[in-house]
Structure 1
Amino acid sequence: MAGLPRYAIYYAPAAGTALSQFGASLLGYDAWAGEDVGFPEDIVNLIPDWSELTADARKYGFHATLKAPFALADTKSEAELCAACADFAAAPRVLPIIRPVVDAISGFIAAIPGDASPALQMLATDCVEAFEPFRAPTTAEDRARRKPELLTPRQRDHLDRWGYPYVMEDFRFHMTLTCRLSDERRRPILSMLQSRFEALALATLAIDRIVLFRQADARAGFRIIADWPLTAARQP
């Protein structure tokens, strides 16, 4: 893979929280520690190929994309990227608060907002724009990997402008839990994951931080190297 190491700016629940542990245990990887973790025994007994169903998501850790993975521009450094993250987080903004649910999205299962959130859309747009100067140009290999022939014209424009097709109007906040599944397989797995998620009793979730992930090489999973709490705007 070209352009390694790669960085990404994601939302991830704070280390040690019930939601963070929920995602790490299901994916078998804790991005905060950079370590594999054991799957819940009952899930493995019920679904013997659970490791395969979560393999793609495991590589990235439990997260929601705000700025998709990118190689650093030649003129930028990791230290400068961290400083920019700190500046971004310090700017007051309306913090998105969502009602999280587990549901199907484009064939896979993820934790997603139960309702539309303009503040969340704005946060994602701001991240895409603010960190664009740090992104190295998209290579022909990376562009082809996105299968532009399968994208809409607008998504192809996003890919060429921002290096990722699912931004701006096409952004959908999601914290992935499985790969794409057939309808027959997805239904019982979705029901099981919804029950586990409901046990967290998480009525609302504040999207209250940005988290910098780093992938050192092609064989490595993404690992969290720093996070910054977002600054809430003062209420009038």
Structure 2
Amino acid sequence: MTAYRRYGIYAVPHGAFYATGAAWLGWDSVAGCTVAPPTVEGLPRPVAEMTATPRKYGFHGTVKPPFRLAEGMTETALRDAMAALCAGLAPVEIPALTLRRLGGFVAVVPAFPAEALAHLAAETVRRLDRFRAAPSQSELDRRRKSGLSARQEANLVQWGYPYVMEEFRFHMTLTGRLGQDADRVAERLRKLFTPILPQPYRIDDLALVGEDAQGRFHVIQRYGLSG
């Protein structure tokens, strides 16, 4: 069994949607290999430069952010807990996806708020929290540099990450921060992704992922949502 540095719970798409996202980022977390990016005309920067930050995570939407295992916890125990968790959670259907700029980066997001998805994420964070090692002081300091609200600070202290529970916003990241180029890149990527965006988008399973020694994430196993 491979020893991973960190683990996370992701919604990893299937089919053409996944293949396009993985190719754009240049990393296929399911196959565990690099892939060549598609040709997109009119981009202001090289694809490899724009995707350098999100590449290692693979194409995904975060449900429970990456964490180190707490002392005494094992991957085997985490796998068992994932199976039990997903057996009791129902699939989630998002009526529509869209591609837009979020601050300085570009991502695929739900077109409208999805309460069922927020519930799925909250339950996953809460019920698997015992596996999470507490963040180090340097990790806490790094999170706080962006300036957190009172609610986000409370989440950081309780759950190890600011953007969970009420602050959760599901997104599938496609670029790093692009500044003034973000709108132009979003326009170009809509032409690539719009034909293959699943409408509706149904999340039937969650993926347990692990971070290898080089910092790249791999899908360890998918667990069907059968509740």
TM-score of Structure 1 vs Structure 2, range by shorter chain: over 0.9
Q: CA deviation at 1:92?
A: 4.3
Q: Structure 1 201/7 Cα, relative in aligned 2: closer, same or farther at 3 Å?
A: closer
Matched, 1:155 2:152: yes
TM-score (norm 2): 0.93
Stretch of structure 1 that moved more, 69-78 or 148-157 = 148-157
Q: Structure 1 170/201 Cα, relative in aligned 2: closer, same or farther at 3 Å?
A: closer
From 186, 195, 198, the equivalent of 2:191 is 195
Residue 28 of structure 2 is matched in structure 1 by: 30
Q: Structure 1 124/38 Cα, relative in aligned 2: closer, same or farther at 3 Å?
A: same
Q: CA deviation at 1:47?
A: 4.5
Q: CA deviation at 1:94?
A: 5.4
Matched, 1:95 2:73: no
2:92 counterpart SS class: coil
Stretch of structure 1 that moved more, 147-156 or 23-32 = 147-156
Q: Is the contact between residue 61 and residue 222 of structure 1 (CA under 8 Å) also seen in structure 2?
A: yes
Q: Percent identity?
A: 36
Residue 102 of structure 2 is matched in structure 1 by: 105
Amino acid at match of 2:7: Y
Aligned-CA RMSD value: 1.6
Q: Structure 1 20/94 Cα, relative in aligned 2: closer, same or farther at 3 Å?
A: closer
1:110-149 alignment, distance < 5 Å: 110-148=107-145
1:178 counterpart SS class: coil
Q: Is the contact between residue 40 and residue 188 of structure 2 (CA under 8 Å) also seen in structure 1?
A: no
Q: Structure 1 220/127 Cα, relative in aligned 2: closer, same or farther at 3 Å?
A: same
Q: Is the contact between residue 6 and residue 72 of structure 1 (CA under 8 Å) also seen in structure 2?
A: yes
Q: Is the contact between residue 211 and residue 224 of structure 1 (CA under 8 Å) also seen in structure 2?
A: yes
Residue 11 of structure 1 is matched in structure 2 by: 11
Count how many residue pairs are aligned between Structure 1 and Structure 2.
224
2: CA distance, partners of 1:106 / 1:123: 25
Unmatched tracts of structure 1, length 5 or more: none
Q: CA deviation at 1:96?
A: 3.3
1: CA distance, partners of 2:122 / 2:189: 29
TM-score (norm 1): 0.90
Q: Is the contact between residue 109 and residue 170 of structure 2 (CA under 8 Å) also seen in structure 1?
A: yes
Q: CA deviation at 1:48?
A: 4.5
Residue 221 of structure 1 is matched in structure 2 by: 216
Amino acid at match of 1:162: W
Cα deviation, 1:105-144, whole Å, max 9, x if unaligned, reads 1321111000111101100100110110000111112112
Residue 53 of structure 1 is matched in structure 2 by: 50
Q: Is the contact between residue 102 and residue 111 of structure 1 (CA under 8 Å) also seen in structure 2?
A: yes
1: CA distance, partners of 2:176 / 2:109: 15
Stretch of structure 1 that moved more, 208-217 or 96-105 = 96-105
Q: CA deviation at 1:49?
A: 2.1
From 36, 39, 49, the equivalent of 2:37 is 39
2: CA distance, partners of 1:197 / 1:220: 27
Q: Is the contact between residue 43 and residue 188 of structure 2 (CA under 8 Å) also seen in structure 1?
A: no
Unmatched tracts of structure 2, length 5 or more: none
Amino acid at match of 1:105: L
1:220 counterpart SS class: coil
